Structure 1
Amino acid sequence: MEHQDLLALTAKERMNSSRRAMFCKPQHFEWAFEDDGLRLKFFLDAGSYAIALVRELVQLEE
């Protein structure tokens, strides 16, 4: 697909060509260790993904 074709498809489907922020700062961040793991509570701005933040905070061991 050529660049112009992609632009036409984007316009046809009324898709916005917005970008996500490179960094996000969680608000009202709380954490607590519980019997079965770790509980996290926070708010993110629209367009941010919680899984991306959790992935950066937690190292899983197999």
Structure 2
Amino acid sequence: MSADCNGHCEDCPYSWCVPVNRARPPKVADRQHWRQDARAELVELADLYGIDPSGVRL
């Protein structure tokens, strides 16, 4: 690293520098878990409001 680069800037001007705190995209398992939770919530809401759960989509 250069003396004026600490690797903590989000838009570092150096192409060789990889910022340490770069946000990672969610993993596939995290996305699948989110979808399962969202589906369960939609089914519960459909039941609460008297809507046919088979007609509810995510």
* TM score, norm. by length of structure 1: 0.25
Of structures 1 and 2, the one scoring higher in RCO (CA 8 A, sep 6+) is: 1
- Higher percent of residues as helix: 2
- Higher percent of residues as strand: 1
* TM score, norm. by length of structure 2: 0.25
